[in-house]
Amino acid sequence: MHIPDGYLSPATTIPAFAVMVPAWGAAFHKVKKTLDKRSIPTLALCSAFSFLVMMLNVPVAGGSSAHAVGAVFIAILLGPWAATVSVSTALLIQALVFGDGGIMAFGINCLNMAVIMPFTGYFIHKIITGRSKLGSSRSLAATFIGSYFGLNAAAFAAALEFGIQPLLFKAADGTPLYCPYPLSVSIPSMMFAHGLIAGPIEGLVSAAAIAYIVKFAPQFFDQSHTLFPQESSVPFLKRYKSLFIPLAVLVAITPLGLIATGTAWGESGADELKAQLGYIPQGFAAMADRWHALLPDYALPALGEGQVGAAAGYILSAVVGILLISILILLTSKFIMKEQKGNK
């Protein structure tokens, strides 16, 4: 679902970024009200969780791939505004460091996966759950349904964004400037992959994560959906042990994402597009590949190109990503808390 640079016109990506600026402002404002030193690690770990599950691509019929996002799980756990912060942070690191998603398309990727998805899924979950206890059968079913429809709402938004490009932006010879696929192609392609494959996986991952937290770390749940404080007297490692363990497992299994050899629909590079179309859209050629990521495709060339080297590269990339996300969350949180003290 990551939209790379080149598929969307600046007339699409710039307004989306303009929409996200006040959305990020509102998210930080909401999070700022409840953020303290003890809740920062939880925010960072949730962002790391989203980053890791997005690395786990699964094969889709037709040779493409798809992945979960984890945005609705974070929204249920911390609230939708915190999910906006967490998922946006993960998407930023993915785009800048690993070339997963475009720099110009960063705003629209955040709009889809860090706003549309968590808010849609959160409110569906809230409506279905009602007054049921978090972690109950009804709540877990609501988590699955909310996550499924949240992901598919984001996928549908991306399908529309892809599909309007050939209608609105054409070269003098009539060929599309950016995404070459009309709505009649983009909507079925996106919704097939996410409706039948990624959606159910998203629902299962979210429901399993909620069930795990309820059983092994109930102190992390706050039914008012705030960034809950933790007992400061509890040692840090002991306090977060229940979250570190599943994250370590996710890091270890990230090489499973290499099983999906096909490129996700809408994420093909210039060479793949040329093979499919016989040409490269002019606008796409001008916009794509402007940013050269430090570790493109989660690979470390020094480790070799074989299966072992690729797997090791994935694991090390996961560790690097988690560290960078943690640093970014920490710096942002310090800025927020400094601003809080300044306003008192």
* Res. 229 pLDDT band, cuts 50 70 90: very low
pLDDT at 40: 78
Does 341 have pLDDT greater than 90? Answer: no
CA distance 211 to 69: 18
pLDDT at 223: 45
Does 224 have pLDDT greater than 70? Answer: no
Residue bearing the bigger pLDDT, 198 or 61: 198
Does 274 have pLDDT greater than 50? Answer: yes
CA distance 88 to 82: 10
User: Percent of the chain having pLDDT more than 70?
Assistant: 89
Does 227 have pLDDT greater than 60? Answer: no
CA distance 330 to 39: 11
Question: Under a CB-based contact definition with an 8 Å cutoff, are residues 80 and 280 in contact?
Answer: no
Map out the domains of the chain as residue ranges. Answer: 10-343
pLDDT at 271: 85
Residue bearing the bigger pLDDT, 187 or 274: 187
Task: Give whichever of 34-48, 190-204, 217-231, 253-267 has the largest mean pLDDT.
Answer: 190-204
* Res. 29 pLDDT band, cuts 50 70 90: confident
Distance from the first to the final alpha carbon of the chain: 42
- How buried is 290 (Cβ within 10 angstroms: 0-12 exposed, 13-18 middle, 19+ buried)? exposed
The string of pLDDT tens digits covering residues 288-317 is 878 888 888 898 877 777 788 889 999 999
Does 231 have pLDDT greater than 60? Answer: no
Question: Under a CB-based contact definition with an 8 Å cutoff, are residues 175 and 194 in contact?
Answer: no
pLDDT-wise least confident of 58-62, 106-110, 138-142, 170-174 = 58-62
pLDDT at 338: 63
pLDDT at 238: 73
pLDDT at 155: 96
pTM for the model: 0.91
Alpha helices in 1-116 (DSSP H): 10-32, 40-55, 71-78, 80-98, 106-110
pLDDT at 249: 94
User: Percent of the chain having pLDDT more than 90?
Assistant: 59
Q: Which two tokens stand for residue 199?
A: 């959606």
pLDDT at 151: 97
The string of pLDDT tens digits covering residues 137-168 is 999 999 999 999 999 999 999 999 999 999 99
The string of pLDDT tens digits covering residues 65-107 is 888 999 999 999 889 999 999 999 999 999 999 999 999 999 9
* Res. 220 pLDDT band, cuts 50 70 90: low
User: For the chain, how big is the Rg over CA atoms in Å?
Assistant: 20
Average pLDDT, the chain: 88
**Domain covering 10-343: architecture:** Orthogonal Bundle (1.10)
